[in-house]
Amino acid sequence: MEAFQRYFQSLSKKLEAAFEQEKEIRLASKWVAESIKSEGWIYTSGTGHSHLLAEEIFYRAGGFARVIPILEPSLMLHENAAKSSDIERTEGLAAQLLADYSISDSDVFIIYSNSGRNAVPIEMAQLAKLAGAKVICITNLAHTKSISSRHSSGLKLYQVSDLVLDNCGSFGDASIELEGLSTKVGATSTSVGSALVQAIMVQASQNLLNQGVIPDIFSSSNSDEGNEINKLLTEKYSPFVKLIGGDKTC
């Protein structure tokens, strides 16, 4: 079997295992639907490569309009990747990042961290819970349970979240061993995490429709009809979601 086939096999097994978490997926979907129905917000956050998942459901074709990602450039990779790894360990930073957001008990906060050991995601979860939001984390339980926390509390993300979804990844994320390399290749956390959060949004959409609620959903801006739909939604939500194009955060 060639390396790409081994990777596909590994990824497929992890996806199958992740989707066996039906109880957790249903509950997360229920919370998201309840939040949308009550005009709450779906917050998302991730540091390092996990910021990709924070963006996954934001301003996305087929995605809810009521999504607010917390995207701090210094915690992402495009400015200084190595430095971002240090910054995500900084206690107190989460409070600064959330200071401009009015999180409430109508909201859901989805936080992504493969290791779940660093201060920023841990404190994001703690602060969101204090504000009354339901906190969902997507993490790698095999990894996080085998390492120590980098937070002074000794806690890890899964321990401070209301609901935990396992991305079923290998320790260290990379999954494929190749002869001649001492380090594995082929990370899976982004693929599995993306599938899980999209599944939650899809089920939440169905839940809303079952209740007679038609949510605001972005369409593809690269279709004529979708472009017009998105213009209307952008005008409606940009005063509340600054990353859509407005000046004010919710």
Record the pTM.
0.93
pLDDT at 14: 98
β-pair partners for 170: 173
Q: Count Cβ atoms below 10 Å from residue 74 Cβ, excluding itself.
A: 15
Which residue in the block uniquely carries the two structure tokens 């990709």? 52
For the CA atoms of 169, 77, 199, 95, what is the dihedral angle to 10 degrees?
100
Tokens of 125: 């979860």
pLDDT at 248: 44
pLDDT at 145: 96
CA distances (Å), 46 to each of 14, 21, 91, 162, 193, in order?
21, 21, 15, 17, 11
- DSSP-derived letter for residue 241 is -
Per-residue pLDDT in tens (0 to 9) along the chain, 250 residues:
999 999 999 999 999 999 999 999 999 999 999 999 999 999 999 888 888 999 999 999 999 999 999 987 777 778 777 878 877 878 899 999 999 899 999 999 999 999 999 999 999 999 999 999 999 999 999 999 999 999 999 999 999 999 999 999 999 999 999 999 999 999 999 999 999 999 999 999 999 999 999 999 999 988 878 888 999 999 999 998 988 874 444 4
Residue type, 201: M
Could you give the domains of the chain?
3-243 (3.40.50.10490)
pLDDT at 227: 87
Q: Pairing relation of β-strands 174-176 and 185-187? A: antiparallel
Tokens of 139: 């993490």
Longest dimension (CA), the chain: 58
pLDDT at 242: 82
